[in-house]
Amino acid sequence: MVGPGRHRGPGAHRGTRTGGSLTLMRGDVRSYSAARRERAADLDRWLADLFRSAYPRARGAEGRAGASKNGVAEERAGAAAAAGAPGIALVAVGSLGRAELAPGSDLDLVLLHDGRDDIARIADRIWYPIWDSGIGLDHSVRTVDEVAAVAREDLKAVLGLIQARHVTGDPELTRAARERVLADWRADSRRRLAELREAADKRAESAGELAFLLEPDLRDSRGGLRDVQAMQAVAAAWVASAPGPRVREAHEFLLDARHALHLVTARGADRLVLQEQDAVAASLGLLDAEALMRRLAEAGRTVAHAFDATWRTVDRLLSGPAPRGRRPLADGVVEHGGEVVLARGVDPGKDPVLVLRAAAAAAEAGLPMAPATVSLLAAKSPALPVPWPDEARDALVALLGAGRAAVPVWEELDQAGVIVRLVPDWERVRHRPQRNPVHRFTVDRHLIETAAGAASFTREVSRPDLLLLSALLHDVGKGWPGDHSATGEVVARDIGTRMGLQPADVDTLATVVRHHLLLPETATRRDLDDPVTISRVAEAVGSREVLELLAALAVADGHATGPAAWNSWKAGLVTDLVRRVRSVLSGSPPAPAPALSARQASLARHGGGAVRVQGGAVTVVAPDRPGLLWRAAGVLAAHRMVVRSASAASAATAAVIEFAVVPEYGTPPDPATLEADLRLVLAGRLDIEQRLARRTRSMRPARVPVAPPRVNLVDDASQTATVVEVRAHDRPGLLWRIGRAFGECNLDVRAARVETLGAEAVDVFYVVDRSGGPITDPEQRARIREFVLAALR
């Protein structure tokens, strides 16, 4: 017998089995579930050995129990073992209790006893060998009364004890403890389930939603493993049913993903970070990280959907009897018990529009559809004829027009497989991840969120139906290779025709999908004072009807994308662009470039130099000379100010530069200090390069590789300047570096549009040569690209 301090845990702790079994290889995903069960069995045998060492009286009987091969013999041997160790039992809780232990998981054990005086000595003989093995251990030593008392007050403890599993020792002690815990849990279910719901809400608020996170926490995120455990706890209270087969399948995939993550990282990590995703995908036998994240999104949404349904059941049962009777909502659709159900005698097999009519009624009433009703509609509803009848299209528009209330109803239909039957192209964007920090949703969820947001603009457009449909379909091209706007136009045209839209409406829908990024991209990346900019947008839009649809869609799309994609600065630029384009479409010529404002003209008269800092605007006036813009931008970067836009104008020999800025983080810098540094750099008395270099050295390098920068010279975007578009990973002083490269090429920056999307910068510059004209020489254009790329590297 190996003594205390020399015990080693079973090799399954690192993905192997004891007894000469083969090591679990990465990529053998079919073995992950079996490996978890086998590891639990290995640990049970090892813990039983430790228990016998700590409690010799149980040794002989426990050995006979382990050697038994049939049910009757095992039962008799188990009883003999219990008789040999009365009043003491080792119980597994947590992931070991559920036989879900991942390679890097800790053990969670409870040593039950009936009040023995020597329990501390026995416990030490069990715990110390586990610690010596290197396996993490969460342990406790309690009587049945103590277990019940802890479970009544500690939510984490009771969730583990509800699924406690007897390992060895006296099984009657384990049974008594579990029965006490479950009885108390059920008796006090109203209070305890409210506590469980509050904890789940706090966890979701902190960890986010698994399906839509760039780096999800597989355990704590909404839709993760803990939500499944919460549903199991609700079922143990006899308040709702246990998770069904779809949730169990999703749960198993989450366990496999966590298992693979532990193997890849060689530690007990639960957050799936970007740099591990490809390796985890390979370990699971998936094509790449995108395939992995799509599967995770599907699993997370399945769990989250079931989680919400569980709590609706809890609320309904705990709040008392539901109001009796049925309230009509639509033809064949009624409200009953706070849910939307079908009216008596309605046959969904004879009415293909019923599913959309019921969904629209549910969204307009702000009620959930009864799960049984959704299942019945999914199973019995016949396919809609092509083209759709007007009633079906009207019901879809009514559903989308309900706004935020449409989102959970749409999710119900999607989970039941109804959406892909109505719109087959939906399958290509369903659960598709958008692996960048700007987007907060998968493609399909982003589309319904955009449509819900667009509902608030239906009073502002002449065709609200086309606004809602274009919002629903604007990114549908992301399910196909190539430019999603171009492919989306083709797909939207097919879907619009399938839905029975008139040919002119199909054209409008396709045009809006094709140009859904036109307004925000032009507003933030082009000089709106350049007449060419406005003319080209007006030409692409073609009509005021399309313009107003694009304007409303831009706002809804931006808000649904995330805070990095839409802000007051961008909203103001888009509004300005729409105003100018509307004027051109009405027959008015493009407005000329505005002259200096009265304030700018006043400052320009002080040609020796002036600086004004007011809120988010910084105005610099100085004698006109090359490099003025980028030197001033360097000072702003040194003061941790992010430049949102920059424009330059001139009056006689003075240049006036306007910056729109926001602080990188925290509070803005002191205006007096910023103004003083701007004056110093303009006078050539401040080495801004050295200060920026110091800031760069203090920054942490990026955790993951970033795409290389790209520099494009855009033709035909302006008749008076050359437009240079720069895309790069954002970092302090980026605008200064680019501007310095322009200076080395003997160029002047007439205007700039600067935008930061997450960690990526999209900057556009209107540059002219020293004679004030655009750059046409191919060699000089190539030199510009080369110098700017060198500065970015």
pLDDT in tens, 549-603: 999 999 999 999 988 788 888 899 999 999 999 999 987 766 555 555 666 666 6
Query: Percent of the chain scored above 70 by pLDDT?
Result: 87
Q: What's the confidence (pLDDT) of residue 159?
A: 93
Q: What's the confidence (pLDDT) of residue 593?
A: 53
> What is the per-residue pLDDT across 755-779, written as a single tens digit (0 to 9) for each?
766 567 778 888 888 888 899 999 9
Tell whether the model's pLDDT for residue 110 goes beyond 90: yes
> Are residues 637 and 673 part of one domain?
yes
> What is the per-residue pLDDT across 708-751, written as a single tens digit (0 to 9) for each?
888 999 887 888 889 999 988 777 778 888 988 998 898 888 77
Of 522, 551, 585, the position where a domain reaches its end is 585
- b vs e for 690-717, b when ≥16 Cβ sit within 10 Å of the residue's Cβ? ebbeeeeeeeeeeeeeeeebebebeeeb
CB atoms near residue 668 (< 10 Å): 16
Q: For 328-357, what is the mean pLDDT?
A: 94
305 SS3 class: helix
Tell me the average pLDDT of the chain. Answer: 85
Q: What's the confidence (pLDDT) of residue 697?
A: 67
766 SS3 class: strand
> Are residues 147 and 16 part of one domain?
yes
User: Using alpha carbons only, what angle is made at residue 78 by residues 75 and 79, rounded to the nearest 5 degrees?
Assistant: 90
Residue 659 · residue 632 · CB < 8 Å = yes
Q: What's the confidence (pLDDT) of residue 732?
A: 72
> What is the per-residue pLDDT across 507-554, written as a single tens digit (0 to 9) for each?
999 999 999 999 999 998 888 888 899 999 999 999 999 999 999 999
> Are residues 470 and 364 part of one domain?
yes
- Among the residue ranges 246-255, 399-408, 665-674, 761-770, the one predicted with the least confidence is 665-674
> What is the per-residue pLDDT across 132-167, written as a single tens digit (0 to 9) for each?
998 899 999 999 999 999 999 999 999 999 999 999
Note the Cα 652 to chain centre separation in Å. 52
* Bond prior to 387 in cis (omega within 30° of 0): yes
> Are residues 768 and 690 part of one domain?
yes
Query: Percent of the chain scored above 90 by pLDDT?
Result: 58
Give the model's confidence band at 699: pLDDT under 50 very low, under 70 low, under 90 confident, else very high: low
Domain membership of residue 341 (yes or no) is no
| DSSP-H helix ranges across 436-567 | 443-454, 464-473, 484-498, 503-514, 518-525, 531-541, 544-561
Domain membership of residue 289 (yes or no) is yes
Q: What's the confidence (pLDDT) of residue 426?
A: 97
Three-class DSSP labels, 247-301: HHHHHHHHHHHHHHHHHHHCCCCCECCHHHHHHHHHHCCCCCHHHHHHHHHHHHH
Could you give the number of structural domains in the chain? 4
Tell whether the model's pLDDT for residue 26 goes beyond 50: no
Domain membership of residue 194 (yes or no) is no
> Are residues 213 and 173 part of one domain?
no
Residue 184 · residue 236 · CB < 8 Å = no
User: Using alpha carbons only, what angle is made at residue 691 by residues 688 and 692, rounded to the nearest 5 degrees?
Assistant: 85
Q: For 642-666, what is the mean pLDDT?
A: 75
Give the model's confidence band at 20: pLDDT under 50 very low, under 70 low, under 90 confident, else very high: very low
Which of 650, 672, 668, 651 lies closest to 660 in space, CA to CA? 668
Q: What's the confidence (pLDDT) of residue 296?
A: 97
- b vs e for 188-203, b when ≥16 Cβ sit within 10 Å of the residue's Cβ? ebeebbeebbeebeeb
Note the Cα 723 to chain centre separation in Å. 35
- Among the residue ranges 316-325, 364-373, 382-391, 663-672, the one predicted with the least confidence is 316-325
Give the model's confidence band at 620: pLDDT under 50 very low, under 70 low, under 90 confident, else very high: confident
Query: What does each C-alpha distance from 157 to 137, 181, 493 come to in angstroms?
Result: 15, 10, 56
91 SS3 class: strand
User: Mean pLDDT: which of 321-325, 378-382, 649-653 is highest?
Assistant: 378-382
Phi, psi dihedral angles at 669 (to 5 degrees)? -70, 165
Domain membership of residue 222 (yes or no) is yes
Tell whether the model's pLDDT for residue 630 goes beyond 90: no
The residue ranking higher by pLDDT, 771 or 234, is: 234
**What is the rounded CA–CA span in Å between residue 372 and residue 363?**
17
Full residue range of the structural domain in which residue 765 is found = 603-698+707-792
Q: For 338-359, what is the mean pLDDT?
A: 95
> Are residues 311 and 281 part of one domain?
yes
Residues in the chain: 793
Phi, psi dihedral angles at 536 (to 5 degrees)? -70, -35
> Are residues 149 and 41 part of one domain?
yes
> Are residues 273 and 134 part of one domain?
no
> Are residues 759 and 646 part of one domain?
yes
Domain membership of residue 423 (yes or no) is no
Of 156, 187, 218, the position where a domain reaches its end is 187
Domain membership of residue 417 (yes or no) is no
Tell whether the model's pLDDT for residue 607 goes beyond 70: no
Token output for 654 = 């003075």
> Are residues 510 and 368 part of one domain?
yes
User: Mean pLDDT: which of 77-81, 354-358, 602-606, 718-722 is highest?
Assistant: 354-358
Residue 684 · residue 764 · CB < 8 Å = no
Residue 222 carries which DSSP code?
B
Q: What's the confidence (pLDDT) of residue 322?
A: 62
Which of 493, 513, 489 lies closest to 502 in space, CA to CA? 493
Domain membership of residue 422 (yes or no) is no
Q: What's the confidence (pLDDT) of residue 147?
A: 95
The residue ranking higher by pLDDT, 748 or 684, is: 748
> Are residues 562 and 504 part of one domain?
yes
Tell whether the model's pLDDT for residue 446 goes beyond 80: yes
Domain membership of residue 640 (yes or no) is yes
**CATH number of the domain bearing residue 91:** 3.30.460.10
Predicted structure pTM score: 0.79
Of 187, 218, 233, the position where a domain reaches its end is 187
> Are residues 515 and 377 part of one domain?
yes
Give helix 189-207 / helix 225-236 axis angle, nearest 10°: 170
